[in-house]
Chain A
Amino acid sequence: MNHFSPAKIFLAAFLVNNILLMRFIGLCPFFGVSTALDTSVGMSAAVLFVMLLAAWVSWVLYHTLLLPLGLVFLRTAVFILVIAGLVQFVEMFLKKYVRALYSAMGIYLPLITTNCAILAVTFLNIDYQFNLLQATIFAVGTAAGFALVIILFAAIRERLADAPISPSFRGYPIAFVGAALVALAFLGFTALFGIS
């Protein structure tokens, strides 16, 4: 069992080991949706939602099913299957009963379902030997870190869209250059502490 304090887990997931800029996981939504502020906010909400859900389900499944049965090697397949099925179900549920929430993050839910960022959190929860509370905090922290970076970056890209950039650098190239610079800035947080 791990003995990190909740605050340390949250801060590590949020800043020090930021999933986008330090681990470089989940880059597809990072570059795909960060072109405008409103889409990135919607995506962040969907990530928080799915990440929390996935963390709980995968943790419970792992500790009640896979570990006792000695099927730990199946975790990738099982996690993807269960998370995808569950998110599909939740999407239907939201569409029917919570229309406002559905329209707020509707198209992002299926997009993020089996994203590597989601899967990474479920695996890290197990690799770090977190208990359920720690796993929850870790998932929330990671999602918050995702939101922080993608929203910050959307603001940068909205500025970039109007900047006089030479044609060969316009679009993704300059976005990647920008992401690298922001990642360098985040590197500074590693001096604080980290979990591994």
Chain B
Amino acid sequence: MDWPLVIKSLLTLGGLGLLLGIILLLAALKLTVRVDEKEIAVRAVLPGANCGACGYPGCDGYARAVASGKAPLNSCTVGGPDVARRLGAIMGKEVSAGEPPVAVLICRGGRAEAGQRFQYQGAKDCRQAALLLGGPKACIYGCVGLGHCASVCPVQAITIGANGLPVIDEKRCIGCGLCVKECPKGTLRLIPRKKLVYLACVSHDRGKAVKDVCSVGCIACGLCVKVCPVGALQMEHNLPVMDFEKCIDCGICVHKCPTKSFLDRAQRRPKAVINDRCNGCGECVKVCLFKAIVSESESATPLAQSKSAGPRAQPGKQHKVIPDRCIGCGQCGKVCAPEAIDLVSTDSG
């Protein structure tokens, strides 16, 4: 064996390694950049998958954003609620327990509402049917209704209803999103469990093209965008897109939509009730989009007359809610200066 060569190689490589090691050691001592201690702690809690689901470049990026308070604490989908809780402990913030979302069907065109273009006699599978000219449903955007979602649901929360559309048992749904991923038409989506109002149409057509194929499809009239009191809706490609951060679930869009394309998950809505502090200024009348508030003098019901005998600020000018028209959106309460309007939940209906 050529020993001098071996020693020479070892010395060269070892010497280079040692030299670089020393340089890096000195550099580490001299060139350290102080990183926020919180950032290090946050990074230690994160799973380190660098999946990017939080919307930041890797776990490091998310840790930096969390430490500087710019990112929400519950954005890490890999870590889930556990990581969110530990991030909350580091940042000294309360984290909402992070309820799992719930899957909803965003198509209302069942057998009764949307017609069929042809008789489909192939395999009873949405994906196969969807490959054939987009499926047998007249609306090419809509739910095929052969129940692929029901077959993939791990908790059997989905059944196909009498109308040919999947029905989701929200109590059973665990929000895993498997059905959303599997649906070939994209007619399922996950929404926060607390969210009440959502658009139930995926048609990017407009006007007559929708009307021809479905009686409950969004015709892109844009009325919902106009009536939304908080500007949470915007038209994009002929569909209103809802900003869940802004939406207050008032339900105005649900009632104003001419095609009933919005759905409301609320079992029961409260009604506005005007009490004795009302001074008859008329602001609530102006703001109510459903003409549910009238001046008491206009209404001639015996009940109203008997009430007007009581002590009032301006008798005879007070307002009254017509319960059948009120949808309980609560917009009147916001503009009422004397705070005379309460939302009362109606148990008996």
Chain A contact residues, CB within 8 Å of chain B = 65-66, 69-71, 74, 77-78, 81-82, 85-86, 88-89, 92-93, 95-96, 107
A96-B31, A107-B57 in contact; A89/B24 too (CB < 8 A)? Answer: yes
Of the candidate stretches B5-13, B67-75, B231-239, the one touching chain A is B5-13
Whether B31 and A77, one on each chain, are in contact in the complex, defined by CB atoms closer than 8 angstroms, is: no
What is the size category of the interface that chain B forms with chain A? 10 to 19
A95-B31, A95-B33 in contact; A85/B12 too (CB < 8 A)? Answer: no
Whether B24 and A85, one on each chain, are in contact in the complex, defined by CB atoms closer than 8 angstroms, is: yes
Name the one of A74, A81, A82, A93 contacting B9, with C-beta atoms under 8 angstroms: A74
> B53 at interface (Cβ–Cβ under 8 A)?
no
Whether B31 and A93, one on each chain, are in contact in the complex, defined by CB atoms closer than 8 angstroms, is: yes
- By a CB distance below 8 angstroms, the chain A residues around B17 are 81
Q: How far is the CA of A83 from the CA of B287 in the complex (A)?
A: 70
Q: How far is the CA of A12 from the CA of B60 in the complex (A)?
A: 39
Q: How far is the CA of A69 from the CA of B58 in the complex (A)?
A: 45
Whether B8 and A96, one on each chain, are in contact in the complex, defined by CB atoms closer than 8 angstroms, is: no
Name B28's closest neighbour in chain A (CB-CB): A92
> B16 at interface (Cβ–Cβ under 8 A)?
yes
A65-B12, A70-B5, A71-B12 in contact; A81/B28 too (CB < 8 A)? Answer: no
> B20 at interface (Cβ–Cβ under 8 A)?
yes
Q: How far is the CB of B17 from chain A (nearest CB, A)?
A: 6
- By a CB distance below 8 angstroms, the chain B residues around A89 are 20, 23-24, 27
- By a CB distance below 8 angstroms, the chain A residues around B5 are 70-71
Known interface pairs A70-B5, A74-B13, A95-B31; 4 further A-B residue pairs with C-beta atoms within 8 A, sorted by A's residue number: A77-B13, A82-B16, A92-B28, A107-B60
Name the one of A77, A81, A93 contacting B27, with C-beta atoms under 8 angstroms: A93
Q: How far is the CA of A78 from the CA of B9 in the complex (A)?
A: 10
Q: How far is the CB of B186 from chain A (nearest CB, A)?
A: 13
Whether B13 and A92, one on each chain, are in contact in the complex, defined by CB atoms closer than 8 angstroms, is: no
Q: How far is the CA of A69 from the CA of B32 in the complex (A)?
A: 37
Whether A71 and B8, one on each chain, are in contact in the complex, defined by CB atoms closer than 8 angstroms, is: yes
Whether B23 and A85, one on each chain, are in contact in the complex, defined by CB atoms closer than 8 angstroms, is: yes
Whether B16 and A78, one on each chain, are in contact in the complex, defined by CB atoms closer than 8 angstroms, is: yes
Whether A74 and B33, one on each chain, are in contact in the complex, defined by CB atoms closer than 8 angstroms, is: no
Q: How far is the CA of A88 from the CA of B57 in the complex (A)?
A: 21
- By a CB distance below 8 angstroms, the chain B residues around A85 are 20-21, 23-24
Whether A69 and B8, one on each chain, are in contact in the complex, defined by CB atoms closer than 8 angstroms, is: yes
Name B131's closest neighbour in chain A (CB-CB): A166
A81-B16, A107-B58 in contact; A92/B8 too (CB < 8 A)? Answer: no
Q: How far is the CA of A69 from the CA of B8 in the complex (A)?
A: 8
- By a CB distance below 8 angstroms, the chain B residues around A66 are 12
Name the one of A78, A88, A93 contacting B12, with C-beta atoms under 8 angstroms: A78
Q: How far is the CA of A88 from the CA of B16 in the complex (A)?
A: 15
- By a CB distance below 8 angstroms, the chain A residues around B27 are 89, 92-93
- By a CB distance below 8 angstroms, the chain A residues around B57 are 107
Q: How far is the CA of A71 from the CA of B5 in the complex (A)?
A: 8
Whether B12 and A92, one on each chain, are in contact in the complex, defined by CB atoms closer than 8 angstroms, is: no
- By a CB distance below 8 angstroms, the chain A residues around B28 are 92
- By a CB distance below 8 angstroms, the chain B residues around A95 are 31, 33
Q: How far is the CA of A70 from the CA of B31 in the complex (A)?
A: 36
- By a CB distance below 8 angstroms, the chain A residues around B33 are 95-96
Contact with A along B155-183 (1 / 0, CB 8 A): 00000000000000000000000000000
Q: How far is the CA of A77 from the CA of B8 in the complex (A)?
A: 14
Whether A82 and B12, one on each chain, are in contact in the complex, defined by CB atoms closer than 8 angstroms, is: no
Whether B9 and A71, one on each chain, are in contact in the complex, defined by CB atoms closer than 8 angstroms, is: yes
- By a CB distance below 8 angstroms, the chain A residues around B58 are 107
Q: How far is the CB of A162 from chain B (nearest CB, A)?
A: 12
Name B8's closest neighbour in chain A (CB-CB): A69
| Selected A-B contacts with CB under 8 Å, 25 pairs | A65-B12, A66-B12, A69-B12, A71-B5, A71-B9, A74-B9, A74-B13, A78-B12, A78-B13, A78-B16, A81-B13, A81-B17, A82-B16, A85-B23, A85-B24, A89-B23, A89-B24, A89-B27, A93-B27, A93-B31, A95-B31, A95-B33, A96-B31, A96-B32, A107-B57
Q: How far is the CB of B258 from chain A (nearest CB, A)?
A: 31
Name B57's closest neighbour in chain A (CB-CB): A107
- By a CB distance below 8 angstroms, the chain B residues around A82 are 16, 20
Interface centre among A78, A85, A88, A93 (most CB of B within 10 A): A85
Q: How far is the CA of A142 from the CA of B17 in the complex (A)?
A: 28
8 nearest interchain CB pairs? A85-B20, A96-B31, A92-B31, A92-B27, A95-B33, A89-B27, A96-B33, A71-B9
Q: How far is the CA of A157 from the CA of B223 in the complex (A)?
A: 37
Q: How far is the CA of A181 from the CA of B13 in the complex (A)?
A: 43
Name B184's closest neighbour in chain A (CB-CB): A167
- By a CB distance below 8 angstroms, the chain A residues around B8 are 69-71
Name the one of B12, B31, B60 contacting A74, with C-beta atoms under 8 angstroms: B12
> Which residues 65-120 of B have a CB within 8 angstroms of A?
none
